[in-house]
Amino acid sequence: MNSYHSLTDIELTSLLKGGDYNAFNEIYNRFQGLLFIYACKITKDNDEAEDIVQEVFLYLWDKRLSIKLHSTISSYLYSAVRYKFFNLLDHKKIRTDYRVSFQHFLNLGENITDNYIREKEFNTLIEKEISALPDKMREVFELSRKLNLSRKEISAQLNISEKTVKNQINSALKILRKRLGLFAFLILLLNR
């Protein structure tokens, strides 16, 4: 076995391309500490720096037979650390963007759902109270509020006086205000 310590980077790279595990170990021992320091400087996080360096060396070993180096092994390794760091930043940004977007969707969805449920409950309550009105009063009220007919149109359609129409609508509104409470009553008037 040769002494791999005395080999140059170029010789080690050549042996690595031939699948020599001892050459890989020498490259690892020679550059791991320096790459870790470099990764710490750019990530500001020891754990992330260690992960990046390990991934770079795993990749180097996996691709040892097909790797194309356009410069020295040290340049390649430093570039690979930088690439992994930017890749990590992209993933963090995507995760953060996704988390923010998802939280916004949840908040918005929750508000929409709550509002929809409340609106349905109010409408159900209002419809229930309208249906409990005396028949003639309910008919006049529904023609006025749901079909938006004028007093004159209701009077002609039901063959009653406009004054009766007015009295029926006012009586219906008083009854509904009492039964529904002010808040639901205002909703009824606003949805007119």
- Calculate the alpha carbon distances from 41 to 35, 86, 157 in Å: 10, 13, 85
| DSSP-assigned letters across all residues of 58-75 | HHHHHTTTT---SS-HHH
What is the pLDDT at residue 115?
59
What is the pLDDT at residue 53?
93
What is the pLDDT at residue 25?
93
Q: pTM (2 decimals)?
A: 0.48
| Contacts (Cβ under 8 Å, ≥6 apart) of 186 | none
What is the pLDDT at residue 169?
83
What is the pLDDT at residue 22?
93
Cα pseudo-dihedral 131, 137, 142, 143, rounded to 10: 160
What is the pLDDT at residue 132?
85
pLDDT per residue of the chain (192 residues) written in tens, 0 to 9: 458 889 998 899 889 999 899 999 999 999 999 999 999 998 888 998 999 999 999 999 998 888 887 778 888 899 889 888 888 877 766 656 656 665 665 566 555 556 566 667 767 777 887 888 889 888 888 888 778 888 899 889 889 998 998 998 888 878 877 776 655 555 555 555
8 A C-beta contact, residue 162 and residue 152: yes
Residue type, 152: K
8 A C-beta contact, residue 67 and residue 60: yes
Report the SS3 class of residue 2: coil
**What's the rounded Cα separation, in Å, for the pair 121 and 81?**
59
What is the pLDDT at residue 51?
92
Burial 58-91 (b: 16+ CB within 10 A, else e): eebeeebeeeeeeeebeebbbebbeebbeebeee
The domains of the chain, with CATH numbers, are 4-98 (1.10.1740.10), 132-190 (1.10.10)
8 A C-beta contact, residue 57 and residue 28: yes
